[in-house]
Chain A
């Protein structure tokens, strides 16, 4: 990890470690990137959250275990395709990326895949990428399946599987809901753990 700085947290836990991770959120417009961050950082949810323009920056510190504290520096990016040219500024030197799609929009998964591709090509080669299928509270309107259900619903083309893709591309995978807080902390903790374990290797 070239850019993650490691500094002992001397005040409270002389033995503890403080990791700083730069995390970037990418994904199509209105899939809930900002909402995921808001849930993670402030444990809040806003139905009518303004769209992000350019990017927003937030930090959140979590304790992984007694010895390790992780500070996330989160760049929450604008989703509109047009803002894409700004993205490299944010994912440059990022340790991890959360690529978000909306389970009720199949196009958002395609967009997520293209982000993954771009990250794998352009970003730090060690970047940890997580795929998050957001809005799992709206499962009634789901079009993206986690895995193929035993009995397919509707026509075959209507749904796409995300999990097999994530496995294949080597991504962490979670279905989240920023609204109900489902899997949000799990998502970030698991990113932590993955990076920390990379670090130790």
Chain B
């Protein structure tokens, strides 16, 4: 089943078709004094508590869409809205009456209303909410006349009114039981709403007010309510013996008592009498009081009265005891005191009296004359979101309508000010006795105008300058992180070889093996090839990220017209763009998980902010019944970590309103406790709270989803960071980070190294929290949008990009200044630029430089690469289970004292190799690559096939080196763009070396720097023998400012592996003396050389001859013929210089 199919925020309830939006506003209690004592402000409580309301969805309820904290203590609540309400119908009735028209006593209509109101209430009660403000004006009707309750969350979100200065509910409709009732969350008296239902229905049916007209005075009314309560304690039904003095409307009272209408005959009442009796009985029950008599909505819904309506729902009963104390009387503004909105009521009345049905009236309204097709299909939350994008502002709307009433601040100043003698208790008395009328509640709603929204959306989509925007989703695929993404490309290659080979051979044609998106300009011919290869890379990547190859291809690659990239900040604010993105993602999410591949594909461009929570979940691959998963964990038992969690949660991202609210704190604590419970091998580290914050804020009403996201997210990006002892993990991570910095920015890296500004001192909080500790959440959302669709190494590049934004300052700084930049308050930075830089760097970085011994992905890859295709799966499983290699063996190998392993592995032969005939160049090239990267079936080796150089390095070793190491599989891919420097002793070099490599004496780097710089190669790869000074040499290249310097893992040994292939094999990789092993390579060399500066390669012909010589003779011949290393001609001259200098030095 689709994971998000039932999420209310993804589709519109059929009954909310053509809904409007409206807002109410009120001021929360200003509890400045309490705040000093650690009590959170009332607005914050309201804000947190009301989030839950947004998740409620029922055909008879108006949806809550948002709660906005305004200035000071003002709160705006935005809800679904309809202009028609029972209140409006009732006032029409009254005017009809004045005109002598008969009241519409329509029992079946009343019955249907009653059933719907009760349905809504039952739903609310099951979600722990008592309405408490059920009045005629809070019962709205939609176009088709269906009941829509509104304002039902007011009582709940204000802690029963204790957080506001006004009383919740209209006493005319309030049950006597509510007098003095206190709010206790989770233990609410739902029966009081039933009283209100009784009053509402009575009034609607009889067209009379429940109370006598003179009972509008609050004091009298309240004493009447008390009187009723007293009566009800004496007799079972207070209605029977109700004296007139209580103040009920006599018409109402007589109907309730007799079930007969005074004007029954006159009205030509067509209902049959027993129905009427039923109704009266039903009302009596609604209005009955006392513990044994009061009913909840669910019980009332089962009343006989509804037999003819439809089937009832079965709901459990629970009765709570009202606490008898006084009704908190607080002032209240009635809507009649305020001007009615733009004559709306008048107009509607007129329309109705002219004989139009209500629906007609709305259709003829100006807002209905335009077809609202676009909006009527969207979930209301999206309508509201788009309204805001179109420039809608709730507070401004209130102002425009003159709804923001308040007393000027100056009038509130205390007239007497006490100076000095400050006592803690005195502050309240010093306040002015003048009450700000903004503290009062206005039940007037402010309708948010949606009339022009659709037109604006359409305009935004079709705006002429929007040609710049390409709605096509892959309009800038070249900055797609997967385009040339090695991590995933390599993985993909192993998994689906046939598929990806095309892209790898394609890419060789560019100057950069991994083309940098920055270099492309729109419309260049390059576009075509890169698009092709990116398509392939993407499909490969999809498989590797989630292991979920659903067989779905990314959405059809539509032709792209333009490739102009519009900044994210503009795209996110563009109405038309967001409308289309929302529509697409909504569709995709509803089909998730089947649509996961497409979601991933589109998410790489951007993610619509409104749906981010679910899109992230989809990207992370959350599937199944996550609610069940979450509820299975114990979140309540006390644990030793609780104390730390209690301390950290109130400090975690408190600038964020959700995180600051008391409900936010509760949810965060539950989430963290659940995580601790669910991950027994991990522990709570400070910082985990920050990591979880983005997920919680995006899924505030869905802790379970947030939890499942965290469970997917942490293993991918923060693997083992939360182990009890994480020092190895974090230090290795930081060491890799340092190497990558050297790789991309050698100048900065060596400077930082020089001033001892080491990552351990500043970057732990960056990576342990994936930047959540240093950036505010709004920046994190954008950063993680990219990180989530990228490889797990992307955070490392983000770290480099951060440093690079402060490059000039850092280069000037000594240690103290440098660390000062990142301490205390983190500096302002451009996140989008940061992401761009990180992606660009990631794209041109061979994946093996980011390998982490703790990271499963890189472990797997390492294993697959060395074990070759067939053994891959089994070996991978082995790695996934066992943490690392046996440590003893590990150490000795790293130290280079285990030569046996090389021999053992190199003796392994493979019978699969068949003599290669001249076939297509591509297949041979592929063969070579396969052999180089696969190491000729080493997978059957004694310990799972890791060569000695593939074992993880010790952290000390890593920290002592400045340059990263690359695996030969990457070496193979970048060999044509790389300058390969061999620093082994000359005799060994003569004896055999990698083609294209140049020889250099390690100590003479300084003399040759300028020559190397002139070569302008994209990559520098150092090959050294085992135990030689390769790392030092690579480090000194970094210090000299060479970019993209890497040391080949295993040096010459890694290349020699292929040498041991059986005699029948084509040739050896480290052709003794140069041989590029296969004509294909030679040919490739020629082509690549011709595209480069060198026109020809000197020894090409010699090598071609070599190939044709039987292999036994080959070696000798090669040794004989290739005294000069195999290098482009231009290099040869330089090398001659190199040599001669070397000689003269020695």
Residue of B nearest to A53 (CB): B765
Please tell me which one of the listed residues A29, A50, A54 contacts residue B644 in the complex, with CB atoms under 8 A apart. Answer: A29
Report if A73 contacts B (CB, 8 A).
Answer: yes
Please tell me which one of the listed residues A51, A56, A85 contacts residue B651 in the complex, with CB atoms under 8 A apart. Answer: A51
Instruction: Chain B residues near A29: list those with CB within 8 A.
Output: 644, 647-648, 686
Given the complex of chains A and B, what is the CA–CA distance between A38 and B689 in angstroms? Answer: 22
Q: Mark B614-653, 1 if CB is under 8 A from A, else 0.
A: 0000000000000000000000000000001001101111
Report if B660 contacts A (CB, 8 A).
Answer: yes
Check B765 against A30 for contact (C-beta < 8 Å): no
Check A82 against B685 for contact (C-beta < 8 Å): yes
Instruction: Chain A residues near B651: list those with CB within 8 A.
Output: 30, 48-51
Check A54 against B764 for contact (C-beta < 8 Å): yes
Check B760 against A57 for contact (C-beta < 8 Å): no
Instruction: Chain B residues near A54: list those with CB within 8 A.
Output: 761-762, 764-765, 768
Please tell me which one of the listed residues A48, A58, A73, A89 contacts residue B824 in the complex, with CB atoms under 8 A apart. Answer: A58
Check B647 against A30 for contact (C-beta < 8 Å): yes
Q: For window 658-683 of chain B, which residues contact chain A by CB distance below 8 Å?
A: 660, 683
Check A57 against B820 for contact (C-beta < 8 Å): yes
Instruction: Chain B residues near A82: list those with CB within 8 A.
Output: 683, 685-686, 724
Given the complex of chains A and B, what is the CA–CA distance between A30 and B816 in angstroms? Answer: 26
Instruction: Chain B residues near A73: list those with CB within 8 A.
Output: 816
Report if A86 contacts B (CB, 8 A).
Answer: yes
Report if A78 contacts B (CB, 8 A).
Answer: yes
Given the complex of chains A and B, what is the CA–CA distance between A82 and B773 in angstroms? Answer: 17
Instruction: Chain B residues near A89: list those with CB within 8 A.
Output: 760-761
Instruction: Chain B residues near A49: list those with CB within 8 A.
Output: 651
Report if A139 contacts B (CB, 8 A).
Answer: no
Check B824 against A53 for contact (C-beta < 8 Å): no
Residue of A nearest to B648 (CB): A51
A58 and B823 contact, Cβ closer than 8 Å, known pairs A50-B653, A53-B764, A82-B683: yes
Check A53 against B660 for contact (C-beta < 8 Å): no
Given the complex of chains A and B, what is the CA–CA distance between A89 and B756 in angstroms? Answer: 13
Q: For window 979-1031 of chain B, which residues contact chain A by CB distance below 8 Å?
A: none
Check B768 against A53 for contact (C-beta < 8 Å): yes
A48, A51, A59, A79 — most chain B CB neighbours (10 Å): A51
Residue of B nearest to A83 (CB): B686
Given the complex of chains A and B, what is the CA–CA distance between A55 and B687 in angstroms? Answer: 12
Residue of A nearest to B660 (CB): A48
Q: Mark B746-768, 1 if CB is under 8 A from A, else 0.
A: 00000000000000111011001
Q: Mark A79-118, 1 if CB is under 8 A from B, else 0.
A: 1101101100100000000000000000000000000000
Check B816 against A50 for contact (C-beta < 8 Å): no
Check B644 against A57 for contact (C-beta < 8 Å): no
A59 and B816 contact, Cβ closer than 8 Å, known pairs A48-B650, A50-B773, A53-B769: yes
Given the complex of chains A and B, what is the CA–CA distance between A163 and B1087 in angstroms? Answer: 82
Q: Mark A50-70, 1 if CB is under 8 A from B, else 0.
A: 111111111100000000000
Instruction: Chain A residues near B769: list those with CB within 8 A.
Output: 53
Given the complex of chains A and B, what is the CA–CA distance between A54 and B687 in angstroms? Answer: 9
**B489 to A: closest C-beta gap in Å:** 34
Q: For window 674-716 of chain B, which residues contact chain A by CB distance below 8 Å?
A: 683, 685-687, 689-690
Given the complex of chains A and B, what is the CA–CA distance between A52 and B773 in angstroms? Answer: 9
Report if B206 contacts A (CB, 8 A).
Answer: no
Chain B's interface size range is 20 to 34
Instruction: Chain B residues near A58: list those with CB within 8 A.
Output: 820, 823-824
Given the complex of chains A and B, what is the CA–CA distance between A5 and B651 in angstroms? Answer: 37
Instruction: Chain A residues near B654: list those with CB within 8 A.
Output: 48, 50
A85 and B727 contact, Cβ closer than 8 Å, known pairs A53-B768, A57-B819: yes
Check A86 against B764 for contact (C-beta < 8 Å): yes
**B876 to A: closest C-beta gap in Å:** 32
Please tell me which one of the listed residues B660, B686, B824 contacts residue A51 in the complex, with CB atoms under 8 A apart. Answer: B686
Instruction: Chain A residues near B687: list those with CB within 8 A.
Output: 51, 53
Instruction: Chain A residues near B655: list those with CB within 8 A.
Output: 48
Please tell me which one of the listed residues A41, A53, A57, A79 contacts residue B761 in the complex, with CB atoms under 8 A apart. Answer: A57
Q: Mark A23-48, 1 if CB is under 8 A from B, else 0.
A: 00000011000000010011000001
Given the complex of chains A and B, what is the CA–CA distance between A85 and B660 in angstroms? Answer: 31
Given the complex of chains A and B, what is the CA–CA distance between A85 and B195 in angstroms? Answer: 64
Check A80 against B644 for contact (C-beta < 8 Å): yes
Please tell me which one of the listed residues A41, A50, A85 contacts residue B690 in the complex, with CB atoms under 8 A apart. Answer: A50
**B727 to A: closest C-beta gap in Å:** 6
Given the complex of chains A and B, what is the CA–CA distance between A18 and B653 in angstroms? Answer: 38
Check A51 against B685 for contact (C-beta < 8 Å): no
Check A55 against B686 for contact (C-beta < 8 Å): no
Q: Mark B718-762, 1 if CB is under 8 A from A, else 0.
A: 000000110100000000000000000000000000000000111
Given the complex of chains A and B, what is the CA–CA distance between A96 and B227 in angstroms? Answer: 75
Please tell me which one of the listed residues A30, A38, A53, A86 contacts residue B773 in the complex, with CB atoms under 8 A apart. Answer: A53
Instruction: Chain A residues near B824: list those with CB within 8 A.
Output: 38, 41-42, 56, 58
**B969 to A: closest C-beta gap in Å:** 34
A55, A57, A78 — most chain B CB neighbours (10 Å): A57
**B734 to A: closest C-beta gap in Å:** 10
Instruction: Chain A residues near B660: list those with CB within 8 A.
Output: 48
B683, B689, B690, B765 — most chain A CB neighbours (10 Å): B765
Given the complex of chains A and B, what is the CA–CA distance between A32 and B686 in angstroms? Answer: 15
Given the complex of chains A and B, what is the CA–CA distance between A88 and B651 in angstroms? Answer: 26
Check A55 against B773 for contact (C-beta < 8 Å): no
Q: Mark B934-967, 1 if CB is under 8 A from A, else 0.
A: 0000000000000000000000000000000000
**B639 to A: closest C-beta gap in Å:** 15
Instruction: Chain A residues near B764: list those with CB within 8 A.
Output: 53-55, 86
Given the complex of chains A and B, what is the CA–CA distance between A78 and B761 in angstroms? Answer: 12
**A35 to B: closest C-beta gap in Å:** 11
Q: For window 272-316 of chain B, which residues contact chain A by CB distance below 8 Å?
A: none
Residue of A nearest to B818 (CB): A57
**A80 to B: closest C-beta gap in Å:** 4
Instruction: Chain B residues near A53: list those with CB within 8 A.
Output: 686-687, 690, 764-765, 768-769, 773
Q: For window 757-793 of chain B, which residues contact chain A by CB distance below 8 Å?
A: 760-762, 764-765, 768-769, 773
**B703 to A: closest C-beta gap in Å:** 22
Check A59 against B685 for contact (C-beta < 8 Å): no
Given the complex of chains A and B, what is the CA–CA distance between A65 and B773 in angstroms? Answer: 39
Instruction: Chain B residues near A56: list those with CB within 8 A.
Output: 823-824
Instruction: Chain A residues near B647: list those with CB within 8 A.
Output: 29-30, 51
Instruction: Chain B residues near A59: list those with CB within 8 A.
Output: 816, 820
**A83 to B: closest C-beta gap in Å:** 7
Instruction: Chain B residues near A51: list those with CB within 8 A.
Output: 647-648, 651-652, 686-687, 689
Q: Mark A144-155, 1 if CB is under 8 A from B, else 0.
A: 000000000000
Given the complex of chains A and B, what is the CA–CA distance between A59 and B824 in angstroms? Answer: 10
Residue of B nearest to A73 (CB): B816
Given the complex of chains A and B, what is the CA–CA distance between A59 and B685 in angstroms? Answer: 27
Given the complex of chains A and B, what is the CA–CA distance between A98 and B727 in angstroms? Answer: 25
Please tell me which one of the listed residues A41, A42, A78, A85 contacts residue B686 in the complex, with CB atoms under 8 A apart. Answer: A78
**A199 to B: closest C-beta gap in Å:** 21
Instruction: Chain A residues near B689: list those with CB within 8 A.
Output: 51
**B516 to A: closest C-beta gap in Å:** 33
Given the complex of chains A and B, what is the CA–CA distance between A167 and B315 in angstroms? Answer: 69
Given the complex of chains A and B, what is the CA–CA distance between A80 and B768 in angstroms? Answer: 14
Given the complex of chains A and B, what is the CA–CA distance between A50 and B651 in angstroms? Answer: 5
Instruction: Chain A residues near B644: list those with CB within 8 A.
Output: 29, 80
Residue of A nearest to B727 (CB): A85
Given the complex of chains A and B, what is the CA–CA distance between A51 and B687 in angstroms? Answer: 8
- Can you sample 15 A-B contacts with CB below 8 Å? A29-B647, A30-B651, A48-B650, A50-B651, A50-B773, A51-B652, A51-B689, A52-B765, A53-B686, A57-B761, A57-B820, A59-B820, A73-B816, A82-B685, A83-B686
| A-B pairs, 3 with minimum CB distance | A54-B764, A48-B654, A53-B765
- New contact pairs (16) apart from A29-B644, A50-B652, A52-B686, CB-CB < 8 Å: A30-B648, A30-B651, A42-B824, A50-B654, A50-B690, A50-B773, A51-B647, A51-B651, A51-B652, A53-B690, A54-B761, A54-B764, A54-B765, A55-B761, A56-B824, A57-B761
